[in-house]
């Protein structure tokens, strides 16, 4: 949901980071700026998922202080290079200078930010299709891609030819070790969407590094159900 107040509340609640979802959420550019600032002010890390194919939003999110990018539907090395080009400064990418807000929030001079930004900002390429699985080694080999991030619902849709969107589908579960192995061999991080604390524990034990946990709506729903259960009718 859009809004800095709740984003800051989640960040201040002890989470390592908050993912601002511009792809499937109701969050626009101004909302994203407010939410990134609120998360940073709470001492946490803001990660932004831009809309599909909106590579311009990558640098805009980093400019205002996002610490990381999770970019949807990266299917091959060419897609990955486009992502890096928007996210990393030369010589790794082709990001344009304009990080005034991000620079100020970190308390860095222009020179300090330019010298460290490529290492400060984590860039994850989402693996969500059969094509991405087929090109996994090439995606992981692209310099500037810091990790891969599994979108299990879309991956299931792709693997089953549109017959299912089940994060626990056997075809999805069979693909996860391959994804983890490719990331590890390339020295990259691996993330995955999760929908419960049980999922977080399960995938952390498998070796995944980044797991969002729950959506804001799910957190609220669980909170309401807990209060209702404790208070009864």
pLDDT at position 232, please? 77
Q: Is 24 a catalytic residue?
A: yes
Tokens of 208: 């995944």
The predicted model gives 67-78 an average pLDDT of 98
pLDDT at position 233, please? 62
Domain of 66, CATH number, reads 3.20.20.60
Q: Cα Rg for the chain, rounded, in angstroms?
A: 18
Query: For residue 2, which phi and psi values (nearest 5 degrees)?
Result: -70, 150
pLDDT in tens, 173-216: 999 999 999 999 999 999 999 988 899 999 999 999 999 888 99
Which of 3, 17, 18, 24 is catalytic? The answer is 24
Q: Tell me whether residue 216 is exposed, middle or buried, using C-beta atoms within 10 angstroms of its C-beta: 0 to 12, 13 to 18, 19 or more.
A: middle
**Domain residue limits at 157:** 4-231
pLDDT at position 76, please? 98
| 161 Rama class: left (phi>0) / alpha (psi -120 to 50) / beta | left
pLDDT at position 213, please? 84
pLDDT in tens, 41-67: 999 999 999 999 999 999 999 999 999
The predicted model gives 219-229 an average pLDDT of 90
pLDDT in tens, 107-132: 999 999 999 999 999 999 999 999 99
Q: In whole angstroms, give the CA distance from residue 148 to residue 190.
A: 5
Q: What is the pTM of this model?
A: 0.95
Q: In whole angstroms, give the CA distance from residue 173 to residue 187.
A: 22
Give percent above pLDDT 70 in the chain: 100
Q: How many domains is the chain partitioned into structurally?
A: 1
pLDDT at position 197, please? 87
Q: How many CB atoms are located within 10 Å of the residue 35 CB?
A: 29
């Amino acid at each position: 949901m859009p809004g800095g107040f709740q984003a800051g509340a989640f960040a201040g609640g002890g989470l390592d980071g908050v993912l601002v979802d511009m792809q499937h959420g109701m969050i626009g550019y101004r909302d994203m700026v407010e939410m990134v600032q609120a998360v940073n002010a709470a001492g946490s890390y803001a990660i932004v998922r831009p809309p599909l194919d909106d590579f311009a939003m990558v640098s805009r999110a980093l400019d205002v202080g996002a610490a990381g990018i999770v970019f949807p539907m990266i299917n091959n090395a060419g897609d990955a290079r486009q992502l890096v080009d928007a996210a990393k400064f030369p010589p790794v990418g082709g990001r344009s200078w304009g990080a005034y807000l991000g620079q100020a929030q970190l308390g860095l001079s222009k020179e300090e930010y330019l010298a460290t930004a490529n290492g400060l900002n984590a860039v994850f390429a989402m693996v969500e299709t059969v094509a991405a699985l087929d090109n996994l080694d090439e995606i992981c080999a692209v310099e500037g891609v810091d990790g891969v991030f599994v979108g299990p619902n879309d991956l299931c849709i792709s693997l089953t030819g549109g017959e299912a969107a089940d994060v626990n589908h056997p075809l999805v579960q069979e693909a996860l070790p391959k994804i983890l192995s490719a990331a590890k061999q390339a020295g990259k991080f691996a993330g995955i969407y999760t929908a419960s604390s049980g999922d977080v524990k399960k995938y952390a034990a498998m070796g995944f590094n980044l797991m969002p946990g729950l959506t804001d709506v799910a957190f609220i729903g669980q909170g309401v159900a807990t209060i209702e259960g404790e208070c009864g009718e």
